[in-house]
Chains A and B, each alone.
Chain A
Amino acid sequence: MNLTLPALGPALPEIVILVGALALLFLGAWRGEAARPVVDFGAILLLVLAGAIVVLLPGGTLSTFGGSFLLDPFARFLKILALAGAAAALLMSFDFLRAEKLERYEFGILVLTATAGMLVMISSNDLITLYLGVELMSLSLYVMAAIQRDSVRSTEAGLKYFVLGALSSGMLLYGASLVYGFTGTVGFPGIAAAAKAGSLGLVFGLVFLFAGLAFKVSAVPFHMWTPDVYEGAPTPVTAFFAAAPKVAGIAIFVRVAIDAFPNIVPQWQQIVIFLAIASMVLGAFAAIGQRNIKRLMAYSSIGHVGYTLVGLAAGTPAGVAGVLVYMAIYVAMTLGTFACILAMRRNGEAIEEIDELAGLARTQPMVAFLLGALLFSLAGIPPLAGFFAKFYVFLAAIEARLYALAVIGVVASVVGAYYYLRIVKLMYMDEPKAAFEPMARPLGFVLGITGLFVLLFFVYPAPLVAAAQAAAQSLF
């Protein structure tokens, strides 16, 4: 057996994060809680370093591990996005966790391992690597959801997520084995070459594979865990859940669909259209009835995944570019909104009721203004960034002749606008409640950046759109 070391360069970001995470874990095990500040700082530094490596690695498409690992412009775009989302979520978590007495050095390390899993997912080019990344990410997330061990809600959330996640992993694996059985290979290029026509067996595999992936991005009807976990997990964990893992999930969804099954587009298109419509509609309707803002954000994320899948359903380079732009804007909007949610504290207690935001415009006008901008953007009102995100995916759908899908999407976003605007109304028109505690500095930083991004995106959208188009083009 000829053991030669494969080229490790393309996987350098993942290696750096994992090695760094192990080092920090040793440090934590050795020094106990005293190591926590170093671990926290080190974790953020590692994420930034990984992002720098992604940027600095040679351009073009790099491949290693016998073609099962791919670093192409598509992967670069999403990796930077996932790293940024993870870093921002981690940054926002410190103050909250300290206030809730949840500070543990493991938190930063779990973020690192989860992020490493996401990066592997984004770069995977065969089903084995895909599963490896998915499980690395998911196992980290299960633990994170239950990190507040003495809270019933948090442990319940972790347990539900774990059980349902195991079920979805089973479906994923079952689908993968069916695909392997009908094509004889696990590599995406090989599957693409073998799957010329959609045999029923292959389509079965496709359905199970997509069901597993849909669970990860919480697309309806595989979304049931989302509201409970979002509500039950500590808020910084929820913020993390809502941003980076979604990016990785959507990434692998797109890559599997476009790279592995380019020849049976009509088959997977039907599945994606179903998931998109169900997600958009349920996200819009169910959110209206929520009183807890974290549950509301859960349904909001379900809806947004639906809109993103509209771009994928188009199956065109423009559609995929729309997906990428949507993800970038979605991550910014979500992180900004969670910065505000994390800042909802009064007398040392976290507040999660939407009604408590009443009159925020008078107690904290700047926060209210930026949150208002983010909510308008989430609702997709021009000229804010969220409008352009929806615009690109709907445009792609219309160009692909998916008129009904685009119309349903627009109608759903009108319904969805209601619950976002209701919060704006609460903030600006209702009698103020007692003021929240002043916002922690990292939260203000994230809120400021994302708020300005959302407000000013329309001024100069070209860099993001151009990068997304280039990244999308590399898949075709």
Chain B
Amino acid sequence: MYQAIVFLPLLGCLIAGLFGRFVGARGAEIVTSALLLVSAALSWFAFVDVGFLGHEARVKLFTWIASGGLKVDWALRIDGLTAVMLVVVTTVSALVHVYSIGYMREDPHRPRFFSYLSLFTFAMLMLVSSDNLVQLFFGWEGVGLMSYLLIGFWYQKPEANAAAIKAFVVNRVGDFGFALGIFAVFALVGSVGFETIFAEAKSLTGKTIHILGGDFDALTVICLLLFLGAMGKSAQFLLHTWLPDAMEGPTPVSALIHAATMVTAGVFMVARLSPLFELAPTALAFVTFIGATTAFFAATVGLVQNDIKRIVAYSTCSQLGYMFVAMGVGAYSVGMFHLFTHAFFKALLFLGAGSVITALHHEQDIRRMGGLRPVLPITYAMMVIGTLSLTGFPLTAGFFSKDAIIEAAYAGHNAFAAYAFWLTLIAAGLTAFYSWRLVFVAFHGRSRADHHVLEHAHESPPVMTVPLGVLALGAIVAGFAAKGIFAGEGMEQFFRESIFSKDGHRIIEEMHHGPFWVTWAPTLMMVVGFAVAYWFYIHDPAIPRELARRNDILYRFLLNKWYFDEIYDFLLVRPVKWLGYTLWKRGDGWLIDGFGPDGVAARVLDVTKNVIRLQTGYLYHYAFVMLVGVAALVSWFLVRGGG
């Protein structure tokens, strides 16, 4: 069964990718979607089987690498943590596949698109079911590659290509750290298998590792390096710049990869390696700090963006920060909880945004929308449900998971727990504001769209709205249904060994006993955010413009995303480009080509010209050359004394 879950998407990818010409676009859509639906159904079955009936499994497929002390297997490790990810990945992927049938219906390259989607799903499943760090890295790079290919799917668009390259390059930074982390683990433990690493983890406490002329705590170094990978993949503060640009890809891709699955790989990885992180409190504090900063930073930027997908993208960035806060304070299952619910409501928001975008013929700027509620009633309803869930309206999915994180941050013990609590609390208000702003500006008020566009605007076909409905259902009930196993008593029963806590999950207990105001503060922030948004965009639309004018510097600071792209461009991109250009023009072009191929070729022509000049056509010259030849040989032997 587990093999089927993981390999059915690969099968779909191969059929659509290699035989797309024979099965046709329609065939490719049906085959990949059907296989994914089967895989998703099996995943839910596995979820129950593993989580509630306790049938954990390790399926060894075959040995991958056996070289000296390094032994790596292809194996599927199926436990509670994996089960959650399997469900999230296959469900969202299956829905996105179906949705894409509608969304991509006019694209000529559908077989390629569906092949990529399925291959991405396979890589993601490989990542979450891996049994060792190398297999994890394989999946990690696999999803990175597919992300690159899918962001740049419309390769005719220069912005899409640039975004794809940016995503790939920024991720290299993180992946470099991740790879170093794996090397360090292998150097210290002598194995990359999770079983061995976790068994050995305790003995590593207090050990030091010698780098850059200093001795540092080994576990802290390892965890920080590994977390660097997570920062890249999950678009955390400093390595977040690629995620908003990645919105150049098709919207279903954004929903699948850049909301529900790949970007959560970093969160999953930290949870999976909780036996290591638990023993490195410094690293955990750092995780908390980065998570909280990201949650706040991305929310502030989201306040002023105008591109519908970018708003959702910054929201994703911010929510990922929440998840890392939970990880950082040791509430791994709570982070996973938010990952789980977030997959539903964020995929819903993205797909809803996609529905808007197709209806308006690829208009993405919310300033040119407005008044869409009567035109797109189903999409509107779906967006509202997604927004309610994201902002944590009571009893929706987001309410349970996000509030749980904020409570966990309050109850947390590390150095940045309080910092995290306040930042996530403020971010909750900001989230409510920018989410409702999106809904109000796009769907309410007077229409600002071109009336030609509006005339042709129509509700999406059922193949797109049905997946939205399924996700909306998830966005409403997932929190209530699953809070027991993620943030309640069922937690230890469900996750068992897959999540480790050195103090027996005390934090889960403690977060339920916070003061009353802590419990309700997030909801209050949500209401405030909603109210301000309502006031600004429904009641008195002149205010935001006035506010932006008066606080021009702040407004532009936020609009330009804290100037991160500009700073990176100045500090890194331009020097590297200069270096590359110099090496190309001076190093390769002038030095190597000039003295190498081109120079030699030019000298050959020079020699040729001189040689040809010898051939004068005069008989006496020819005779003279012959005599010189004889004379030279004779002289040679005279000088050498007869040889």
A93 adjacent to chain B (CB < 8 Å) = no
> In this assembly, does A36 line the interface, its C-beta being within 8 Å of a C-beta of chain B?
no
* A200: chain B residues within 8 A (beta carbon): 637-638, 641-642
Q: Point out the residues of chain B lying under 8 angstroms from A274, CB to CB.
A: 633, 636
In the complex, 19 of the A-B residue pairs with CB atoms within 8 angstroms, ordered by the A residue number, are A164-B622, A164-B626, A198-B643, A200-B642, A207-B637, A221-B625, A221-B629, A222-B626, A224-B621, A225-B622, A228-B615, A266-B643, A270-B643, A274-B636, A282-B611, A285-B607, A286-B608, A289-B605, A289-B612
Q: How far does the Cβ of B597 sit from chain A's closest Cβ, in whole Å?
A: 12
B637, A204: Cβ atoms closer than 8 Å: yes
Cβ–Cβ < 8 Å partners of A208 in chain B: 630
Would A167 and B608 count as touching, CB distance under 8 A?
Answer: no
Residues of A close to B629: CB separation below 8 A: 211, 220-222
Provide the residues of chain A in CB contact with B623, threshold 8 Å.
163-164, 167
Cβ-based interface call for A347 (8 A)? no
- By beta carbon, the residue of chain B nearest A160 is B619
In the bound complex, residues from chain B placing their C-beta under 8 Å from that of A4 are none
Evaluate contact between A207 and B633: CB separation under 8 angstroms: yes
Is B68 part of the contact surface with A, judged by Cβ < 8 Å? no
Q: Which of A164, A288, A418 has the most CB of B within 10 A?
A: A288
* A151 interface residue (CB < 8 Å to B): no
CB distance from A211 to the nearest CB of B (A): 5
Interface positions of B (Cβ within 8 A of A): 604-605, 607-609, 611-612, 615, 617, 619, 621-623, 625-626, 628-630, 633-634, 636-638, 641-643
Partner of A207 from B609, B617, B630 at Cβ < 8 Å? B630
B622 CB contacts on chain A under 8 angstroms: 160, 164, 224-225
- Determine if A52 is an interface residue (Cβ-Cβ < 8 Å): no
Range for the number of chain A residues in contact with chain B: 35 or more
**A 181-201 to B, binary, CB cutoff 8 A, 1 in contact else 0:** 000000000000000001110
What's the least CB distance linking A196 to chain B, in Å? 13
Give chain A residues whose Cβ lies under 8 Å from the Cβ of B642. Answer: 198-200, 203, 267
CA distance A457 to B559 in the complex (A): 73
**Chain A hits for B608, CB < 8 A:** 285-286, 288-289
| CB proximity of A381 to chain B, nearest CB, Å | 19
Known A270-B643, A286-B608; judge A207-B634 contact (CB<8 A): yes
Given contacts A160-B622, A228-B617, A266-B643, 17 further A-B contacts (CB under 8 A): A163-B623, A164-B623, A203-B642, A204-B634, A207-B637, A211-B626, A221-B625, A221-B626, A221-B628, A224-B621, A224-B622, A224-B625, A267-B637, A285-B611, A286-B608, A286-B611, A286-B612
With the chains together, A30 CA to B80 CA distance in Å? 112
Give A171 to B611 CA distance when docked, in angstroms.
Answer: 25
**If the complex has contacts A199-B642, A285-B608, A286-B611, are A224 and B633 also in contact, measured as CB distance less than 8 A?**
no
| Least CB separation from A156: chain B residue | B617
Whether A164 contacts B643 by the Cβ 8 Å rule is no
A288 to chain B, nearest CB (A): 5
- Tell me if A211 and B633 are in contact (CB < 8 A): yes
Output the least CB separation between B273 and chain A (Å).
Answer: 54
CB closest residue in chain A, given B626: A222
Q: Which residues of B contact A129 (CB under 8 A)?
A: none
A415 at the interface (CB under 8 A from B): yes
Which residue of A163, A203, A418 has the most chain B CB atoms within 10 A of its CB atom? Answer: A203
Q: What CA separation (Å) do A210 and B634 show in the bound complex?
A: 12
Q: How far, in angstroms, from A43 to B63 measured CA to CA in the complex?
A: 76
Which residues of A lie under 8 Å from residue B636 when comparing CB positions? 270, 274
CA distance A208 to B629 in the complex (A): 10
Flag whether A227 is at the interface (Cβ < 8 A): yes
Residue A264 is within 8 A (CB to CB) of chain B in the complex? yes
Cβ distance A145 to chain B, nearest Cβ, rounded Å? 14
Q: Which residue of A lies closest to B634 (CB)?
A: A207
Smallest Cβ distance from A421 to chain B, in angstroms?
13
Contacts of B609 in A (CB 8 A): 289
Measured between C-beta atoms, what is the minimum distance from B636 to chain A in Å?
7
Known A-B contacts A267-B637, A285-B611, A286-B612; the reply to A224 vs B626 at CB < 8 A is yes
C-alpha spacing A215/B622, complex, angstroms: 11
- Is A45 interfacial (CB-CB < 8 Å)? no
Residues from chain B with Cβ under 8 Å of A163 in the complex = 619, 623
Q: With A198-B643, A203-B637, A289-B609 given, is the CB distance from A215 to B626 under 8 Å?
A: yes
Tell me the A282-307 residues at the B interface (CB within 8 Å).
282, 285-286, 288-289
Chain B residues, CB < 8 A from A215: 626
Q: Which residues of A contact B638 (CB under 8 A)?
A: 200
User: Quick one: which of A204-259 are within 8 Å of B by CB?
Assistant: 204, 207-208, 210-211, 215, 220-222, 224-225, 227-228
- Whether the Cβ atoms of A415 and B625 lie closer than 8 Å is no
Given A227-B615, A285-B611, A288-B605: A168 in contact with B626 (beta carbons within 8 A): yes
B630:A171 contact, CB within 8 angstroms: yes
Inter-chain contacts of B628 with A (CB < 8 A): 221
